[in-house]
């Protein structure tokens, strides 16, 4: 994915899982999300799905996780086009042998916080990614199995505008460079 930095994923892979599925929502929506759909239960985050704008049309991604009928119980509606993801945090179960899935997720935007959704316990491993104040979010990626979301990560779109340096600052900087 040219121009994007892949961050993560975080979580713990269940070594006993035989149904592991990888997913990637990077360049497919250019980071322009309008909605995030989650389902969660006692075991943590079951599934995640996104709606984005592509060529001026609203497009729904595939469901990432077990999607059994109409089981989404969280719908985050972002104020398009002004609201964008600036952070994601959550928890996952880090110990072997007992359903090591993503347990909770929280999304931060330039205007609001959504969550945490899922379950939270003191023994869970916490994670937090902050993307900055500008729209640098480039999409999500991860894995899931038959019992829920296992790993989650995101793409960061680095800024491409070079900072302006006043001529007086550039001259001052040059005068401070010492060779040898």
Predicted confidence (pLDDT) per residue in 92-145, tens digit? 987 766 666 899 999 999 999 999 988 877 778 999 999 888 888 889 999 998
Question: Would you say residue 173 has pLDDT above 70?
Answer: no
Q: What is the model's pLDDT at position 34?
A: 93
Contact between 131 and 142 (Cβ < 8 Å):
no
15's tokens: 């070594």
Q: What is the model's pLDDT at position 135?
A: 87
**Mean pLDDT, all residues of the chain:** 82
CA–CA separation, 100 and 41 (whole Å): 14
Question: Would you say residue 73 has pLDDT above 80?
Answer: no
Q: Among residues of the chain, what percentage have pLDDT more than 90?
A: 41
Contact between 140 and 9 (Cβ < 8 Å):
no
Question: Would you say residue 36 has pLDDT above 60?
Answer: yes
Alpha-carbon torsion 67, 145, 40, 43, what sign?
A: positive
Residue 53 zone, left/alpha/beta (φ > 0; ψ -120 to 50; rest): beta
- Helices within the chain (DSSP H only): 167-176
* Of residues 45, 28, 26, the one with CA closest to residue 145: 45
* Of residues 77, 87, 94, 70, the one with CA closest to residue 33: 77
What dihedral do alpha carbons 136, 139, 141, 147 form, nearest 10°?
A: 120
Confidence of residue 91 (pLDDT cuts 50, 70, 90): very high
Least confident stretch, 11-25, 72-86, 118-132: 11-25
Question: Would you say residue 175 has pLDDT above 50?
Answer: no
Alpha-carbon torsion 34, 45, 133, 113, what sign?
A: positive
Position with higher pLDDT, 44 vs 169: 44
Q: What is the model's pLDDT at position 38?
A: 92
CA–CA separation, 85 and 146 (whole Å): 28
* Of residues 22, 19, 48, the one with CA closest to residue 35: 48
23's tokens: 């997913």
């Amino acid at each position: 994915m040219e121009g994007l930095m892949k961050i993560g994923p975080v979580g713990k892979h269940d070594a006993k899982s035989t149904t592991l599925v990888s997913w990637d929502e990077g360049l497919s929506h250019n980071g322009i999300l309008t909605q995030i759909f989650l389902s969660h239960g006692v075991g943590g985050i079951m599934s995640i799905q996104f709606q984005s704008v592509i060529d001026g049309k609203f497009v729904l991604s595939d469901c990432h996780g077990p999607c059994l009928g109409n089981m989404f119980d969280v719908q985050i509606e972002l104020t398009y086009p002004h609201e964008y993801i600036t952070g994601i945090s959550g928890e996952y179960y880090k110990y072997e042998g007992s359903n090591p899935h993503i347990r909770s997720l929280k999304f931060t935007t330039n205007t609001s916080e959504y969550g945490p959704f899922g379950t939270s316990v003191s023994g869970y491993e916490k994670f937090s990614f902050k993307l900055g104040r500008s729209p640098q979010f480039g999409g999500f990626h991860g894995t899931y199995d038959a019992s829920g979301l296992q790993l989650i990560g995101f793409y960061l779109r680095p800024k491409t505008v070079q900072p302006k340096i006043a001529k007086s600052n550039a001259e001052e900087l040059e005068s401070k460079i010492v060779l040898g």
